[in-house]
Amino acid sequence: MMSPLVNNADVETTDTDNNFGAELAEARKTQNYTVEEISGHLKIPVHTINLIEANDLEALPAATFTQGYIRAYAKFLEISEETVLEKYNQAVPRADTADLKPRSSLPSEASSQSPLVKSVTFLLIVAGIAAVIFGSFKYYQEKAGVMEGELDAKEQSFTGNSLDSPGTNSLSIKQNAPLTEGSESIVEQSESHENLTEATVALDEAETAGDIEASATVDQGEEVSKEEVSENDIIEIFAEDGSWVQVRDANESRLFYNMVPVGGSKVLVGKAPFSITMGNARTTRVVINEIEVDLTGYIRSNNTATFSISTNGQDIIFH
């Protein structure tokens, strides 16, 4: 009769030990924070915080993302990060470990535990990692070369007929031209002058268009006016290991097409939904309107991601 009681006690103790969400929720309530306030401080979606506090392991994102959320949550509440993470790690289901195959006693069969096999395996792993790093370097180097070539082509496409680049045609003024009563020189209007005027207007329009396109991109550290924030959406990109990124807004206008350097970030202003394509997706974070985007379901096997997002209140909408 005593055995079932002991077993029930053990189960309750285990559940309490693994209840990481309850510890966070209790600390939050003790400090008089709402879930929405925590979301605003940590940029974690409200529904994700609710899933964490409810211990909903099936609905939570991948373990890597969830561990980061829990660590940030515990740190903000000034409770032990390691204690909460340990409870989470104990609660996460793990696949049963495969039974070890007994080592063969036959001399004709090679042992996978021999020093030679271990050394060869290690060298193959190192060679594979080196190949991936070298391939990534070459890929981004080629991308940078293509982009530099496009920029050079654009700069060389303008051939002159401006004040800084006069070209072959110039304004024709006759020497010893007659003077008006006010001692002003009479300038003969020529076809060259018309070309000069048209080219200058075209350059001004190109520069204005460039200023408009450049105004859509805001570097980290620059202030965004309240009018821009109220009328547009803001997207932030943080590249831990560097990332090639392309961003288009709802009007299919390309806001950004370049590399974000290692440890760098980019802030863009435009109309959602934003269409985004990027590399190094596993180490690149995206925040839209101060809400962090969970990219787990959109990262491909080649570590790239392509998706389109907007927001509705505190919810992220994938299109």
Q: Which domain holds residue 243?
A: 218-318
pTM of the entire predicted model: 0.32
Torsion of CA 220, 221, 226, 228, to 10 degrees: -30
pLDDT at position 228: 52
DSSP state, residue 311? E
Provide the 10 A C-beta neighbour count for residue 45.
19
pLDDT at position 318: 95
pLDDT at position 302: 95
Residue 71 lies in a domain: yes
Using alpha carbons only, what angle is made at residue 104 by residues 100 and 109, rounded to the nearest 5 degrees? 120
**pLDDT, averaged in runs of 10, over the chain (319 residues):** 41 58 93 94 94 92 93 94 92 52 46 76 93 90 79 57 44 46 46 42 46 44 52 93 95 95 95 95 95 94 96 93
Number of domains making up the chain: 3
CATH number of the domain that 80 lies in?
Answer: 1.10.260.40
pLDDT at position 154: 61
Residue 172 lies in a domain: no
Q: How buried is 129 (Cβ within 10 angstroms: 0-12 exposed, 13-18 middle, 19+ buried)? A: exposed
Residue 240 lies in a domain: yes
Residue 76 lies in a domain: yes
- Residues 20 and 75 occupy one common structural domain: yes
Residue 273 lies in a domain: yes
